[in-house]
Amino acid sequence: MESNPSDHPRASTIFLSKSQTDVREKRKSNHINHVSPGQLTKKYSSCSTIFIDDSTVSQPNLRSTIKCVTLAIFYHIKNSSSVIPRTLFQREEVPDDYYKHDPDHKHIYRFVRTLFSAAQLTAECAIVTLVYLERLLTYAEIDICPSNWKRIVLGAILLASKVWDDQAVWNVDYCQILKDITVEDMNEMERHFLELLQFNINVPASVYAKYYFDLRSLADDNNLSFLLEPLSKERAQKLEAISRLCEDKYKDLSKAAMRRSFSADNLVGIRRSNAILS
């Protein structure tokens, strides 16, 4: 389990590993065919202008994050094994040759975007959804394919919305969004999802941050860059305010940890060191 990326921050994410094969093939094909990259569309900062996006690890951009998460799901399906055992996440009425037709990225994006828009879920919930999805594939040793990806993604979104968001959506609300599913089916799928996860719904901050930055790397590899805008005075003040809130939050956590009593058997203290900038 030490190689499970959904539990350990040093383990490589599965979606980024699966995407590297296609990225290398695209670069090799462009090199062989002498394909020009064309006009540069990426904006670069200069001495007078700084281009920055509005997505941070604490407050990701919703639209860009959903695009990256659905692209990760796309690579999971594209590089899945050809033989998939039937599970609760695969419906019985699906044709036998259904797995041969991989959904494209736009189709997956529309499905996830519809759920997030109707349920008013946050971008952080999308990242946690991907964490639960890869945890399920690792724990249960199953694969995601065209015949079961919708129900697996739905189960991960359902669980992430209840764990992450304070105002979670009820199962009956998802039944109003997806007309071909019943409340009993949703409840059974949720129970089965939790059992396969071994009821491990904890997402450490280090794991969350790793998935966030790996999603940004995935976007760069696939020319799916975040929207860059010049850094204005108002945006700079907004980023500074967010940084102060996060700093105050972590200071409170440090003070709470210092107030804990120490044991002679396990003497643990908080070590502080000044950051070296140069």
Q: Which residues of 103-141 are buried (b: 16+ CB within 10 A; e: fewer)?
A: bebeebbebbbebbeebebbbbbbbbbbbbbbbbbbbbe
Tens of pLDDT along the chain (278 residues) come to 557 899 998 899 999 988 887 767 666 665 566 555 544 456 666 666 666 666 778 778 899 999 999 999 999 998 887 555 545 565 555 555 555 678 999 999 999 999 999 888 999 999 999 999 999 999 998 889 888 899 999 999 999 998 887 666 788 888 888 878 888 988 999 999 999 999 999 999 999 999 999 999 998 888 776 666 666 777 777 777 777 776 776 666 555 545 544 444 554 444 444 544 33
Closest residue by Cα to residue 137 from 6, 244, 274, 241: 6
Chain mean pLDDT for the chain: 78
What distance in Å separates the CA atoms of residue 202 and residue 212, rounded to the nearest whole number? Answer: 16
The H or E element that residue 51 is part of is strand 51-52
Contact 128, 163 (CB under 8 A): yes
Distances (CA, A) of 246 to 54, 125, 152, 249, 277: 16, 19, 33, 5, 20
What 3-state class would DSSP assign to 266?
coil
- Quote the pTM value: 0.75
Residues 5-52 pLDDT 10s: 999 988 999 999 888 877 676 666 655 665 555 444 566 666 666 666
Distances (CA, A) of 15 to 60, 113, 133, 140: 19, 19, 10, 17
* Share of the chain residues as helix, strand and coil, in percent rounded to the nearest 5: 55, 0, 45
What distance in Å separates the CA atoms of residue 176 and residue 266, rounded to the nearest whole number? Answer: 53
Q: The tokens of 268 are what?
A: 């643990």
DSSP E strand stretches across 175-259: 229-230
What distance in Å separates the CA atoms of residue 192 and residue 77, rounded to the nearest whole number? Answer: 21
Percent of the chain with pLDDT over 90: 33
Q: How remote is the C-alpha of 245 from its chain's centroid? A: 24
What distance in Å separates the CA atoms of residue 148 and residue 143, rounded to the nearest whole number? Answer: 9
In this prediction, residue 143 carries a pLDDT of: 87
Give, to the nearest 10 degrees, the angle between helix 105-119 and helix 123-139.
120
